[in-house]
Amino acid sequence: MPVPQTNFSPPFNITRASHIVITVRDLALSREFYTEVIGLLVTHEEDDALYLRGVEETCHHSLILREASGAPVCETLGFRVFQDADLDRAKQHFDAAGIETRWVETPFQGRSLRLRDAVGIPIELCATMPTLPRLHDKPHLQRGAAALRYDHVQCLAPDVAEAGRFYADLGFRVSDYFVDKPENDEEPLGMFMFRKNNPHDMVFLTRPGPQLHHFAYIVAEVHHLFRALDTAGAIGFERNLERGPGRHGQGHVFYVYFRDPDGHRVEILPPPIQIIDLDDAPVRWHSGNRFTWDLPPPKKWLHEATRFKDTPLRAPDVAVNLFSLEDYLSGAK
Amino acid sequence: MPVPQTNFSPPFNITRASHIVITVRDLALSREFYTEVIGLLVTHEEDDALYLRGVEETCHHSLILREASGAPVCETLGFRVFQDADLDRAKQHFDAAGIETRWVETPFQGRSLRLRDAVGIPIELCATMPTLPRLHDKPHLQRGAAALRYDHVQCLAPDVAEAGRFYADLGFRVSDYFVDKPENDEEPLGMFMFRKNNPHDMVFLTRPGPQLHHFAYIVAEVHHLFRALDTAGAIGFERNLERGPGRHGQGHVFYVYFRDPDGHRVEILPPPIQIIDLDDAPVRWHSGNRFTWDLPPPKKWLHEATRFKDTPLRAPDVAVNLFSLEDYLSGAK
Amino acid sequence: MPVPQTNFSPPFNITRASHIVITVRDLALSREFYTEVIGLLVTHEEDDALYLRGVEETCHHSLILREASGAPVCETLGFRVFQDADLDRAKQHFDAAGIETRWVETPFQGRSLRLRDAVGIPIELCATMPTLPRLHDKPHLQRGAAALRYDHVQCLAPDVAEAGRFYADLGFRVSDYFVDKPENDEEPLGMFMFRKNNPHDMVFLTRPGPQLHHFAYIVAEVHHLFRALDTAGAIGFERNLERGPGRHGQGHVFYVYFRDPDGHRVEILPPPIQIIDLDDAPVRWHSGNRFTWDLPPPKKWLHEATRFKDTPLRAPDVAVNLFSLEDYLSGAK
Amino acid sequence: MPVPQTNFSPPFNITRASHIVITVRDLALSREFYTEVIGLLVTHEEDDALYLRGVEETCHHSLILREASGAPVCETLGFRVFQDADLDRAKQHFDAAGIETRWVETPFQGRSLRLRDAVGIPIELCATMPTLPRLHDKPHLQRGAAALRYDHVQCLAPDVAEAGRFYADLGFRVSDYFVDKPENDEEPLGMFMFRKNNPHDMVFLTRPGPQLHHFAYIVAEVHHLFRALDTAGAIGFERNLERGPGRHGQGHVFYVYFRDPDGHRVEILPPPIQIIDLDDAPVRWHSGNRFTWDLPPPKKWLHEATRFKDTPLRAPDVAVNLFSLEDYLSGAK
C-alpha cells in the first residue's frame, strides 16, 4: 500500500487540527469577510490582530488574523494535544529526532511548541485555551454561514509521501488517497490524514510546496452554503466565490471554496462522515472512481495557494496531471 | 356538496389576504417578538404604531401593531383588490346589497374600504401601497424565521357555511373543508377559502365567533421553523411556542404556532401547494383521513382566540367535537 | 417603458404554463432520467410515449415524452385556461385575428386548441385533465429531486418584444426584463412574463429562434437540488449537469440546469417569490445590477437549445453580447 | 464535582457505542419500520433475525433484530474497541476486577466479550466487523430518515453515579450532567458520557433500572426528521411518534423519538456538537438552565422503557421529580 503506516502508539497525543494564523493587509475588510460571510465570532480584538472562533467552539480562537504589509502568508498551523504533559513528550520526541523546536507564548492559549514538519510547514502544538460558551443554538447571534468549528487544513507539498510519513509517525491515519490512474500503484498524489473522528485534519496534494491550499470550517447544513453565498453577493464579496457549491468526488461532503480578501482560500462544508474503526482502511481514489457530478476545479483552485512565512518552495519530482474546469469546458478529457 | 358555490364572475377582484391590524400593550416587546422571532422588517415606526412586512414583500406593510391598553384586539383584516377601480365596484356592490361601508385613510396605503362581512368580521379592501425592495435574498438583513410574506388568516365563526357564502360570492374558492365523521355530509365544520394560487386566504372554523384564530406568514424552508424556535428560546420567548413543529393533517404544510406577547396567535409555515386549476375540487376531510403523524392540538389552541374590536360573540348552533392533546395523552380516542 | 402593455381584460383566461411535449430517442433512458433524477411520477405509459407529473400535481401530466428517431424536438408548449368556455373564446379571438388554430385530441386531457404564437412557437391551450392525488407529503413514493410541479418555460426568440406583445395581449404581465447596459433603454434582450402568482410562466431571450431553451420544475427546498445531483452522479447521469447550483442574478431563486439524455434542458428550482399586486412593476436588469455571486453560464447554456417541430429559425436583428463562464475564466470582463 | 473522575489511561481502548441487539415479535413489521421510517439498510437477513446498518456505516451492522415471542427485550449493548488486542486487555482487566466475562461468537462480527456493567446492563465488546461501502451519498438507495450511523444509547439506572463510575474507569468522559435544582450539588440525576468526539456514547438517567431508554441514530439534516415523520404518517406508523420534533434543553441537538412496533424507543437526531478538548469540562444542567423552547416530554417518555434480558430491576433510593407534558398542559410548574 502506497500510504505510510500509522504509529498506533504515538509518542504524544495530537487530537485535532485546531487553529491557524494568517496575515492580512486590511484587518477591517478581513473582519467583515470572516464575520459576515463565514460567520465566525470575534473573541478578541487588538489594533493589529483579530481572534475568531466558530459558533460551536468553546476554545478561545481557531483563526488569528494579523495585519501585516507585504504578501499575505500563513504563519503557523495549530494542532491540539490532549494534555499539557503531551507537550513535554512532544518536545522530548522532537529533540531526540533532531528536529528544532521552540516554546512560544501566544495570548489566549497555553504554552505552545513550534516546529517545522518534514516538508517545512511551520506548525504549533498547544494543549489549552480559555473557553467561552457555545453559541451554535443561538441564531440571533449568528451571521452568514454561521461556521460551527475549524475542521482541517489542506497543504501542497512536493512529496506527499514524505509529508505523510511525518504525520503517520505521530499517529495520524490515512482515510483516503489519490493516485493518477486506476491501474497503477505508485506514490499517492493526494492524501487525507486524520486524528479526530472524521476523514481530515491534514490533507496533502502534490504540488510545489510547502504551501497552504486552504483551511476549512464545518457548517451545520447545506443551506448554510447558500446563506454564505447570498451574504457574499449582498455585501460586496460576490467575486470571492472560487469553486462550488459542489460535492467532493470522493463522496465525503458538499463544499464551497471562497478566496478571502487577501487570497487565502477557505472552505465551508457540512459535517463529514465519521471514521473511527480500524476496519475503515484507506480508500484509493483515481481518475476512474473519483469524480461524480461536480465540475472540475478552475485552474486557480488547482495552482494558487498561500505561502508559509519564511519558507522556500520546492517543486515535485513527478509531473502531476491536473484536469481543470477550463479543460472540461474546451472539450478535453 | 356542503360548500358554497363560487361566483366565477365576482363583482370586483380581490386578489389576496394582504394585511392585518392588531393592538398590543407593549410595543417594544411586540417589536422584539415580531422582528427577532418571526423575522419581519420594520418599515415605519411611530410612537404608538409599528408597520412591518415580510422580507420578500414589496408592499409597505402586512402587519400593523397599534399600542393600546385594554384587552388586545384585532381591528381589521386587510385584503388586496387588483385595481383601484375595483374599490369603486366593491362600494357599489355592497351599497346594493345593503352592507354598510366607509372609506378610511390609513398611512402608507391607498384609500381603503371598510365593512363587516356576513359574520361580523371587520375587513378592509385596498388596491395600493408604497413599495420597497424585496430582501429575501439578503440574509445579512434577516432575523429569526425571516418570514417571507403574509399568507392567510384563520377565523372562528358560529356558522361556517354562512361565512363561506359571503366570500364565495366574492369569488373565493374552497380548497378543503372538514366534517365531523366520514359517513355524514352535513354542514362543514371548517373551510379553507382562497383567491391567490394556494389553498388559503381565509379559513373558518366552527366556534363561538367571530374571532381571529391566527394569521400566518410563509417561511422559505422547514429549517426556518427551527431557527425561529431557537431564537425564541434564546431571547426569552421560550414559552410562546404553542403547537408544533408538525404537519397539518390535510397534507398542506408543516407549521409552528406561536402566541405573541399579547396572546395573538401567529403561524409560520413553508410554501404550501399551488391550487389554480378548476379540476382541483374541494377536498373533504374527516376524522378518518385528516390526521397523519402530528399530535392533536392543545386545548388552548382549540379554544383561545383574539376578539375583533367592538364585535359581539355568538355561539354556534351545533356542538363541535374537538379532540385535544390533553385527550390524546389521557388515552381518549 | 420598453416592455409591452398588459391587456388587463384579456379575451380569455390563461391561468398558467402547464405542460410540454418533447421527443426522445430512447424512452427507457429518458424515463430513468426524469423519474430518478428529476423525480417525476409516471402517470401513464405506452409503447412509445410516457406521461409524467410532479409529485404535488393533481393534473394527469405536465410532461409527455414521445419516442421518435431523428433530432429531438419540442412538439408543443401547453397552457391551461380556466374554464372550458375559455377555449371557445380563444378560438373566436384567434379566428378574428387571422391566426390559424386547430382542435386536437390528446389522451388524458380535454379538447385542446393548437396554434403558433407570434414568433412561431407551437402552443396548445386546454382546460381540463383527469386528476390524481397529490403525493408531495409521501416521501416513500418520491425519487431524486421529487419535483413538485411544472412551473415555466424559457424560449429563444429573434425578437423578444414581438414575442412579448403576443402574450401581453393575452393578459401576461412582465415581472422582469433585461437590457444590455445600465444607461440605455432600448428593446429588452430578455423578458419574464407571468399569469400565475410568480415571476414566470413564459420567458424570452433574444437569440436565433424560436427555440426551447428550457422548461422548469419547482422542488421543495434547496437540499433537493443536491439530492438530484447526487442521484445523477450515482446512476450514470453525472455529466448531465450543465450549470449550477447557483442563484439567478435577478434574485428570484436558486437553480440547477440539467441536460436530459437527448439534450433537452430542464431546470429545477425551489419556490420563487410571489407576484400578485399591480404595485409590483416590471424590474429592469442590466449588466450593472443583474449578477450576484453565481458564475456566468457556460457557452453551451447560452447557445444550445431544442428546436420546435417543423419550425424554421430566424436570427435576431440585434447583436447580443453574451458573457460566458469561458470568458470569465479567461479573465475577460 | 459530583461526576466521576475519568481514567485517562484506561486498561483498554473502547472507541464508541457501536451496536445493539433487541428482540421483536414480528420481524416483517419491524423490518418495515426500521428500513422505511428510520432508513436503515438490511445487510443480512435470516429467518428469525435481521442485521441492519446506517447508510454511512461501513460496519456490517449496528442493529440486530431477533424475532422472539414474549416481552420484547434488549439482549446486549455493543461497544467497539480499537484493536483486537484490546479485547484481551479487557478480559484481563475484568478478570482482575472479579467481573464475569464470556467470549461469544456472533455472525458477522469478530470475537466478542460479554459482561454486565456495574448496574447489571449486559454489554458486549468487539473489535471488528466485515465492512461494506458507505451509501450516504447515494440518495436513490435511501428511505425515510436515511439514518447515517448509530450514535448512542440511553439507559435508566437506579444509581447514576455508580453506573457512571464503571464507565469513567474505562476512559469515558462526562460531557453533561443534570441535577434537580440550581442551588444544590448532590448526586447527578442524569449523566452523558462519551468516548468518541461528541457528547454521548452512553447516557444514564435516575429511574428504576437497569432499563434501555432509547438508542439513537444520526441523520444528516433537520429536514430528515420531517422526512421520517411523513413516511411514518404515510405507511401506517403515524402513532409511533412519541416526542418531538424538538430541541434538547441542554442545547445539543434537535430530536424526534419514535416507539418501534414493539415499544422500543429510537431517537433520530442531526449531527451533534464536537467534544474533544480537555478544556470542555462537564456542563451542569438544572431546572433553571436546562429547558429552552421545547415542550416537556409526555409521561410515557419519562417512565416507559425496554427491559434487559434476564435482568432484575432495582428502584432508586432518591425520589426524582419529573415534569411531564401532562403537568405542563394542566398548568403545573
Nearest CA in chain B to D301: B329
pLDDT digits (tens, 9 = 90+) for C281-298: 999 988 777 667 888 999
Which residue in the block uniquely carries the three cell numbers 481502548?
Answer: D13
Residue-level pLDDT at C188: 86
3-state secondary structure of B224: helix
Check CB contact under 8 Å for C278 and B58.
no
The answer, for A222 touching chain D at a CB cutoff of 8 Å, is: yes
ipTM exceeding 0.90, yes/no: yes
Averaged pLDDT of chain D:
94
D residues 294-323 closer than 8 Å to B (CB): 294-295, 298-299
C-alpha A76, offset from chain centre:
12
B53 min Cα distance to partner chain D (Å): 25
Cβ-nearest to B293 among D238, D298, D326: D238
**Closest chain A residue to the Cα of C221, Cα to Cα:** A223
- pLDDT exceeds cutoff 60 at A1: no
SS3 call for D211: strand
- Neighbouring residues of B271: CB distance < 8 A, sequence distance ≥ 6: B198, B218, B220, B253, C220, C271
Q: B287 pLDDT band (50/70/90 cuts)?
A: confident
Please give the share of chain C, as a percent, with pLDDT higher than 90: 87
Distance from CA of A144 to the nearest CA of B (A): 7
pLDDT tens-place string over residues C246-269: 998 766 789 999 999 999 999 999
Q: Do A52 and A40 touch, CB atoms closer than 8 A?
A: yes
Mean pLDDT of D183-208: 91
Q: What is the pLDDT of residue D107?
A: 95
Q: Name the nearest CA neighbour of D137 among C226, B244, A191.
A: C226
- Distance (Å, rounded) from C-alpha A194 to C-alpha B285? 55
pLDDT of residue A292: 78
* Cross-chain residue pair D134–A80, CB shorter than 8 Å: no
CB contact A241 to C (< 8 Å):
yes
Give contacts of D 144-163 with C, CB under 8 A: 144
Among candidate residues B210, B284, B248, B212, the one with its CA nearest the CA of residue B3: B284
Do B290 and B181 meet the contact criterion of CB atoms below 8 Å apart?
no
Residue B221: list chain C partners with CB under 8 A.
Answer: 221-222, 270
Q: Give the DSSP letter of residue D140.
A: G
Copy the grid coordinates of residue A214.
486552504
Mean pLDDT of chain B: 94
pLDDT more than 90, % of chain D: 87
Residue B74 has pLDDT above 70, yes or no: yes
- Residue A80 pLDDT exceeds 60: yes
Q: What single-letter amino acid sits at D104?
A: V
With cut-offs at 50, 70 and 90, classify the pLDDT of residue D23.
very high
As a whole number of angstroms, the distance between CA B92 and CA B103 comes to 13
Inter-residue contact A28 to A45 (CB < 8 Å) = no
Q: Residues B23-48: pLDDT tens digits? A: 999 999 999 999 999 999 999 999 99
Segment D227-273, tens digit of pLDDT: 999 999 999 998 999 999 999 876 678 999 999 999 999 999 999 99
CB contacts, 8 Å: D140 with chain C = 36, 143-144, 231, 234-235
C-alpha span between B50 and B65 (Å, rounded): 5
Q: Are strands A73-81 and A122-126 parallel, antiparallel or unpaired?
A: parallel
Reduce the DSSP state of residue B113 to 3 states and report it.
strand
Contact A233 B137 (CB under 8 A): yes
DSSP state of D59: B
Residues of A within 8 A of D277 (CB-CB) are 15, 58-59, 80, 128-129
| pLDDT, mean of residues A96-122 | 97
The pLDDT assigned to D287 comes to 73
CA-based nearest residue to B243, from A306, D328, D173: D328
Q: Which segment of A184-188, B221-225, C26-30, D212-216 scores lowest on mean pLDDT?
A: A184-188
d(CA D104, CA D93): 18
B270 touches C at CB < 8 Å? yes
Nearest C-alpha in B relative to A137: B230
In this prediction, residue D181 carries a pLDDT of: 76
Between vectors from CA C61 to CA C59 and to CA C62, what angle results, nearest 5°? 100
A233 contacts in chain B (CB < 8 Å): 137
Residue A248 cell numbers, joined? 467532493
- Cell numbers placing D116: 454486565
Other Cβ atoms within 10 Å of B96 Cβ, number: 9
Give the model confidence (pLDDT) of A296-315 as tens digits: 999 999 999 999 999 999 99
Mean pLDDT of D69-98: 97
Dump pLDDT digits (tens) for C174-190: 999 988 777 766 778 89
How far from C11 is each of A222, A309, C8, C81, D160, CA to CA, in Å? 46, 73, 9, 11, 77
Cα separation values, C187 from C160, C162, C280, Å: 8, 10, 21
The type of residue at C79 is F
Q: Are A115 and A94 in contact (CB under 8 A)?
A: yes
Residue D255, all three cell numbers: 430530536
Could you tell me what percent of chain D has a pLDDT over 70? 97
**In whole numbers, what is the pLDDT of chain A averaged over residues?**
94
Query: Nearest residue on chain C to B222, judged by CA atoms?
Result: C221
Cα–Cα dist C105/C87, whole Å: 13
Q: Where does C27-159 have alpha helices with state H?
A: 27-32, 84-96
Nearest beta carbon to residue A196 from set D16, D197, D273: D197
With an 8 Å Cβ cutoff, is B220 touching chain D? no
Chain B residues touching residue C274 (CB < 8 angstroms): 56, 149, 196
The three-class DSSP label of residue B73 is strand
Please tell me the predicted confidence (pLDDT) of residue B181.
76
Instruction: Output D168-171 pairs: Cβ under 8 A, ≥24 positions apart.
Output: D168/D3, D168/D4, D168/D5, D168/D6, D168/D7, D168/D193, D169/D4, D169/D7, D169/D10, D170/D7, D170/D10, D170/D11, D170/D12, D170/D14, D171/D6, D171/D7, D171/D8, D171/D10, D171/D13, D171/D14, D171/D195
Give the Cα separation of C276 and C227 in Å (integer): 31
What global pTM score does this model have? 0.97
Given a cut of 70, whether residue A185 has pLDDT beyond it is: no
For range A185-211, the mean pLDDT:
93
